[in-house]
Amino acid sequence: MKIADADSAENNSGSAHYVVTPLSCALPNRRADGPKASGEEHLKILPGTLLHSICGGEDDSEQYYCNYGVNEEYEKQFQAAGLRVSARGILGETRAVELPGHRFFIATLFQPQLSSRPEAPHRFFLAFLRAAIRFRKTRSKRSRKARH
């Protein structure tokens, strides 16, 4: 983004550019003892994104456990830097971003690991492991070639 002092408000650095700030709204299902974003939220996954191809549709709901999120004032700059929003909350808040052109680069505010179960692994982690498996194959091919 070329903002040298970009920081998270959580770090209290005194920076003029907090690109990550405390969430303004609590989730409706917030847990009594939990942070602002805790419990479940319904999301819209944006078509044409990697996340959409993983989730197989636009409607999703996920578990959260956090207090901070993207400062929406910087949304245009995040996009200009190449990040693409791939999920939004009910009020349009940024809930996941990804990097088009990268083999697999997704960051989420929600935590898919909180709803994975041994009998029902989360598709997000299945997709990530599949990407890691594919990546390892391309790497080992490359290093074999390098030896010849």
Partner 1 sequence: MTAAIRIGIMGDFEPTYHSHFATNAALYDAAAKLKVPLEVRWLPTPSLEGPAAEKTLRRWDGLIASPGSPYKSFIGMLRGIEFARTRDWPFVGT
For residue 53, state whether it binds partner 1 (rule: CB under 8 A).
no
For residue 145, state whether it binds partner 1 (rule: CB under 8 A).
no
Chain residues 54-73 in contact with partner 1, contact rule CB under 8 A? 65-66, 68
Looking at 3, 53, 135, 141, which residue binds partner 1 (CB under 8 A)? 135
Interacting residues of 146 by C-beta distance below 8 A, sequence separation 6+: none
Stretch that binds partner 1, among 3-11, 23-31, 39-47, 69-77 (CB under 8 A): 3-11
Strands of the 94-98 sheet, one edge to the other: 59-66, 37-45, 84-88, 94-98
Other Cβ atoms less than 10 A from the Cβ of 109: the count is 22
In this structure, are residues 96 and 127 in contact, taking their beta carbons and an 8 Å threshold?
A: no
Instruction: Return d(Cα 99, Cα 46) in angstroms, integer.
Output: 14
- x-or-dash string of contact with partner 1, 17-46, rule CB under 8 A: ------------------------------
Chain residues 74-113 in contact with partner 1, contact rule CB under 8 A? 99, 102-108, 110-113
3-state secondary structure (DSSP) of residue 37? strand
Looking at 5, 10, 72, 73, which residue binds partner 1 (CB under 8 A)? 10
The distance of closest approach from Cβ of residue 7 to partner 1 in the complex, given in angstroms and rounded to an integer, is 8
Looking at 32, 57, 59, 117, which residue binds partner 1 (CB under 8 A)? 117
Query: Tokens for 65?
Result: 């456990």
Instruction: Return d(Cα 75, Cα 88) in angstroms, integer.
Output: 12
3-state secondary structure (DSSP) of residue 131? helix
**What does the binding site for partner 1 look like in residue numbers (CB under 8 A)?**
8, 10-11, 65-66, 68, 99, 102-108, 110-114, 116-118, 120-122, 124-126, 128-133, 135-136, 139
